[in-house]
A and B are shown apart, each in its own frame.
Chain A
Amino acid sequence: MHRFIKSKTGDVGQPQQLSKQPNTLKYRLYKDLQPCVKEGETVAKGVPVAKGKWQMLHAGRGGIVSSVTDDVIVIDCRNITDNASLVDNAKLLKSNPCDFAIQNGFIGMGGAGFPSAIKWNISEGLDTLVINAVECEPYASVDQSLLLNCTQTVFDGAKALQEALNIKKVILAVKKSFFKQIRPLWDGDIITMSDRYPGGAERLIVGKLTKKPLPAGEFPSTRGFLVHNTTTIYSIGKCLKEGTPITDRPISVIDTEKKTSKEWFVPIGTVLRDFLDIISVTIDLDKQRIIAGGVMMGKEISLDSTIDKNTTAITIVSTTKRILRDEKPCTGCGSCNDVCPIGLHPIELANRIRTGKMQSKAFHTQLNECFFCGACSAVCPSDIPLADIIREERQS
């Protein structure tokens, strides 16, 4: 037993383009997105297909809209060459950053999916931009791959955003083990985070920068920080260079059994089945499962799901061995407290939830501080689903 989770990275390769584009794109409408196209309509590349108050979805390829429902838009791709009219993005970003974020569909692409426009809307008091490239999920490597291979685009994006929002300083947050590789490429400030999961949590980075933990319910912006994932910053750079909204994103495909990961540029809305076909990965559904996101915080998905704007990785895990084991009584080893990044007592919380002793103020403080990184469940030698128990109680 080791009482920590090492966020190891495999070989960081270059993100590759798909050899063949998918024939259908399926857009899942989340949050307040409303479709703005009709069935049978012909759309060009880059035309918005759904709009919300703070974000938009754009067609990744030209084609015919084959079906529109409340939560899914399907586009049958054809060879339509005309693009949507190009907007002068650089000018828009300077004059109205919020509008730029909405028009080009920027959301947090590191997994949270929080609309960037809301973050940028707080015009005053932001003085530091943090590029989060920590990627603490074991095996994930897409951010590091972007920093090494598309360095210029990422830094252009950061510079443009810095100018637009009048931010004084840009800090790059990386893992300790990645510091040597990135030092020659980046001449600004670098903050190194722990190699242990969850080192890349926004709250921990801001807490380390201000030397005061960031409590639950408080956003980094209250301390003047704007934290963005590398993929988001990269997308800004790309958007300014090419003038097109976000229609594709880099993701890593992780095989936990072989412990390898590979990076691909994938159009948003690609159905997983098509994607795995194109990159020729076969899956045995009896023994393996597909996870959207990393192994620690991901969600199990089916082959018919799509790749969303905030899908950072596709992980293939095998269901043998320990993951399926039943819960055993607690031995009181305290691993969960050892591994908790903010020093909570997960087993104590779980015990109190199960026995119904939930009146005390201390209990509620600890319950509200948890951000469900799942580290306690992963190290528990008795396989108690601590994070699940706490999450259920929080949601009820």
Chain B
Amino acid sequence: MKAPFYRTGSSTEKMMFYVLMAISIQATIYSIYYHDMPYLLTYFLYIAFAFILQTVYSFLSDGKVKIPTLSAGITTGLLVLSIPSKMPPVAVLTALTLALLFCKFMIDKQALRLNPMLVARLFLMFAFPDAIQNWTKPGVVMDSITTATPLTVFKYEEITFPLLEIIKGTIASSADSMYTYIHGSPADALPLISILIGLFLWKSGVLDWRCPLVFVGTFFITSFLLGNPPLYSTITGSIIFSAVYIATDLRTTPKSKIGRIIAGVIAGVINAFIRKYTWWPEGIVFAFLAVNILTPTIDRITFYCQAKRLQHYKAP
């Protein structure tokens, strides 16, 4: 045995378990709050599919049946929370399979990693552009009621809703009683719950506060400078949700403290610019994919800069 003979904090499995539980709690709260029980069922079925996929993959590649790690479940949970609940299952399963295979299982030891959840969502955005915009009112069995999200309404008509209604998750129609506006994804609804869960995860040491806080802060400031209503932009369009779950992804964000702050700044600025100047109402996927691509570079630069800083104090 070698020093240190002391361990503190939890293990990798425990951290992943906490995050998966947090996502599942969020899905459960959503489906109870909006009386959408079928959604919860599909959520767990998709997660089961991810575990089966991982087991099959490890059997095919190593010839052994291993107990799957929880990270595939986390990816699936995040994806299912960020898409409309009436998304066709074939599309979701295809996206999941492709993302998990090519962005998770097959490139286990690469330095450059893309968050598989973002890749799956990007795939859905391009392959099924209609279905992913098809935000339906939760709990309604009919297929016909398709509604707009507050962010889309703001994007094209510059109408904002009262903040309190957005936080409470009960947006009433403002223009016509025929249409009811709802939040976009399940992740988008109830931002307060996301904040509470994020605080809990931070308190129990699973998350690092730097990247999410800097991301939200930078986004807020940049939105303000670009002329978007900052608070309204921040609590709509999954900003809080992605700050808690995507900005804190371990593999795809930089490893160092300063690196995480840089990543938060980059993501916040890119996201605000995408919202203001492009066709896309939200821009989480692009902002964080950019961070993912830059991560190995940021890691290398911070490593080099720290060495430079230490060298600086050396007596000549």
Q: A residues within 8 Å of B by Cβ?
A: 1-6, 138, 212-215, 218, 222, 256, 289, 291, 293, 295-300, 315, 317, 319, 321-325, 328-329, 331-335, 337-338, 342-345, 347-348, 360-363, 365-366, 369, 374-375, 377-379, 381-383, 385, 387-388
Contacts and interface: CB of A to CB of B under 8 A. Distances in A.
Contacts of B253: 332
B6 A138 contact: yes
Given A345-B256, A375-B4, A383-B11, 6 more contacts: A295-B5, A331-B12, A338-B257, A342-B310, A374-B4, A381-B10
A208 to B, nearest CB: 13
A2 B9 contact: yes
A299 B2 CA distance: 7
Contacts of A322: 7, 11
A213 B302 contact: no
B8 to A, nearest CB: 5
B108 interface: yes
A347 B255 contact: yes
A317 B5 contact: yes
Interface of B: 1-12, 14-15, 108-109, 204-206, 208, 250-257, 259-260, 299, 302-304, 306-311, 313-315
A360 B304 CA distance: 9
Q: Which secondary structure dominates where chain B touches chain A?
A: loop
Contacts of A338: 208, 257
B13 to A, nearest CB: 9
Nearest to A214: B313
Contacts of A4: 8
A5 B310 CA distance: 23
User: In the complex, which of the residues A317, A335, A388 has the most CB atoms of chain B within 10 Å of its own CB atom?
Assistant: A335
A289 B1 contact: yes
A295 B6 contact: yes
Contacts of B8: 1-2, 4-6, 378-379
Contacts of B314: 215, 218
A368 to B, nearest CB: 9
Contacts of B15: 1, 331, 333, 381
Given A215-B314, A323-B7, A332-B251, A1 B208 contact: no
A344 B5 contact: no
Contacts of A315: 5
Given A319-B1, A345-B303, A256 B310 contact: no
Contact of A2 (B11, B12, B205, B315): B205
5 contacts: A256-B6, A300-B1, A331-B15, A344-B306, A345-B255
A183 B2 CA distance: 38
Contacts of B7: 321-323, 378-379, 383
Contacts of A335: 9
A365 B205 contact: no
Contacts of A296: 3-6
A223 B256 CA distance: 30
A362 B3 contact: no
A345 B302 contact: yes
B12 A297 contact: no
